[in-house]
A and B are shown apart, each in its own frame.
Chain A
Amino acid sequence: MKRPVFTLYCLLVYAFLLAPILVVVGASFNAGNFLTFPPQGLSPRWYVTFFHNDVFMRAIRTSLWVAAVATVISGTIGTMAALYYVQHAGRWKEAVRIAMLAPLLLPEVLTAIALLFFVYAIGIGTTTMIGMIAGHVLITLPFVFINVSASLESFDPSWDMAARSLGADRLTRFRRIMLPLIKPGVIGGALFAFIISFDTFTISFMLKGIGTSTLPIQLFDYLRTNFTPEAAAVSTVSIVLTLVVVIVSEKVLGLRIHRF
């Protein structure tokens, strides 16, 4: 492809990807009463409405909380599973991989229904958030697993042997050698987990307790009866939150790849 044609092609791809976001952000500053684009006059009034809307505020807190808990659990289990997969699974390697990726391959609604049956069968039900968090862990696990095992594959076993020869016990070797070297994979996986958990609808819809609601569900509920720019404001805030999570974790935890 010639260079100008290629550039145009790239621009179109970006436009396709980013235009919906621009429309939502634009519509959220609408001064009018209906969700339209281009906005009829500019005003932050729908943000004010949103921030004073207790239902939305509660939903956003629930979403953040569930995503944080699910990320920590999923990050831990996923990292441990990846360690087993790369270092010890032996002839079970392929089986372990398929099992770990299963939540990604199955339709989410099936996973959700199965889990719903399960939490009622074992008597937990949906009165607590345990079921929903378990669901979030389940669907985010493959992302942690994929990221961590990719960085583990490039972990040279002789680093571990060298550390052993220098007198480091198992825990020290994990903490001082392996963890820093696979950190980009762990953090990358955790970010995926957080964003997917924050964003998921189906699992939350099936497993949420009576009276609790996550942001995507609350937004869906709202849009069934209302069509105001407040919905766009909610969406914009959730985009910004996602960006903040990515940037903060990059700055604080260091997502940059080590200099090999």
Chain B
Amino acid sequence: MTEVSIERLTKTFGSARAVDCISIRIADGEFISLLGPSGCGKTTTLKMIAGFEEASEGAIRFDGKDVVNVPAEKRDIGMVFQNYALFPHMTVDQNLAFGLEMRKIAKPEMRERIAKVLDMVQLGGYSDRYPNQLSGGQQQRVALARALVIEPKILLLDEPLANLDAKLREEMRVFIRDLQRRVGITTVYVTHDQAEAMTMSDRVVVMFGGRIAQIGAPSDIYERPENLEVAQFVGQVNLVKGTITAAAGAGKSRVASVFGEVAVDSRTDHAPGATVTLSLRPEAIELKAAGQGGAQGKVTARYYSGSIIDYRIALDSGETLHVQTFPNIRIAEGDRVSVHAPADGFWLLGAAK
């Protein structure tokens, strides 16, 4: 189907660079998320791919062909909007038929394709309803169906789940991901929700201030973040100061910290003696009763949330830690604890500032 290549794409508004020289290659059938806080340029990037915003510089290629000068209506894209943007004066059936009419598809084939796609989004009996007679989740699925029925080259989704409530949002994540796999369409998904990006995407593009901070598989982004900003955006993180004692080969360095000396994965090289910042994910930490080795500390707060418990630990050495555990350990607020952190729970972020 379609390979999308974005090359040195830039968008300037006056002197502001909303999107600053970004390059992404999206493989055929790949599901890619643009993830970042609002104002990071992710939506502008999507609009440039769609053709709603003109690129100031750079190229956007669909299968090698530059589309920068092709108007949106000729790019052959399917787009799902945050507010669904269903045409309120048309029934579900008419909404779906619209794109097919623009393509001059014959009536019988049109009927067939609409029926097929409605079936795919599980809205078989709803073709005569008006959008305002549907729930938010149903409208969302109609919007998806309308984008897919034209069999576009690529599917673009702009925060499509932002208006749904939490439970429905989780269902729709899985639904959209499964549907995308089945159809096999190249997909670009814009979101500010890291969990959404992680669960759905083949690869995540993390953006800050119009630039790409990191591109990688969700596990790569989470476990091997490029910098502190990325690490903090994709999840909660503890920062631990350490000192390099020796290079350990194969991208590892030996680092001494309050948790002892461990070999830590790293993407950068540091000379022995350098002070560095390590990240330590809250769920990698293990708590044991006091006096069982590791760093010693005291529980200052405990938050129970069903599937996990959040702890705040004040280490005797002065740092505070955020820890997440399964609720099968019973440690109360005020208890003294031993804190263990396995070597593979650490990641060397870079030189300490």
Chain A residues within 8 Å of B, Cβ to Cβ: 156, 158-159, 161-169, 172, 176-177, 180-181, 258-260
- Which of A159, A165, A167 counts the most chain B CB atoms within 10 A? A165
Chain A CB within 8 A of B214 CB: no
B330 at the interface (CB under 8 A from A): no
Interface size, B (range):
20 to 34
With a cutoff of 8 Å between Cβ atoms, the chain B residues found around residue A165 in the complex are 50, 72-73, 77-79, 147, 156
Say yes or no: B77 contacts A258, CB within 8 Å: no
Interface membership of B175, Cβ < 8 A: no
Q: Interface-forming stretch among B95-103, B184-192, B269-277, B298-306?
A: B95-103
Cβ-defined contact, A166 with B89, below 8 A: no
Contact B99 A161 (CB under 8 A): no
> How many contacts A-B (CB < 8 Å)?
67
**Interface: B222 (CB within 8 A):** no
**Do B85 and A167 touch (CB < 8 A)?**
no
Cβ contact of A162, chosen from B74, B87, B132, cutoff 8 A: B87
Contact bitstring B127-154, A, C-beta under 8 A = 1, else 0: 0001010000000000000110010000
In-complex Cβ contact of A260 among B82, B98, B132 (8 A): B132
Q: Does B259 contact A (CB under 8 A)?
A: no
Q: Which residue of A lies closest to B147 (CB)?
A: A165
Cβ A168 vs Cβ B89 within 8 A: no
Residues of A within 8 A of B147 (CB): 165
In the bound complex, CA of A166 to CA of B76 (Å): 7
Decide if B87 touches A168 in the complex (CB within 8 Å).
Answer: no
| With A161-B52, A259-B130, A259-B132 as contacts: A166 and B98 at CB distance below 8 Å | yes
A164–B83 Cα distance when bound, in Å, is: 16
* 14 new A-B contacts at CB < 8 Å, known A161-B72, A164-B71: A161-B52, A162-B79, A162-B86, A162-B87, A163-B98, A165-B156, A166-B99, A166-B102, A167-B76, A169-B73, A181-B88, A258-B88, A259-B88, A260-B132
Q: Which chain B residues lie closer than 8 Å to A166 at the CB level?
A: 73, 98-99, 102, 146, 150
**A172-B102, A259-B88, A260-B132 as given contacts; A167 in contact with B81, CB under 8 Å:** no
- Is B87 within 8 A of A177, CB to CB? yes
Complex Cα gap A163–B87 (Å): 9
Q: Is the CB of A167 within 8 A of B74?
A: yes
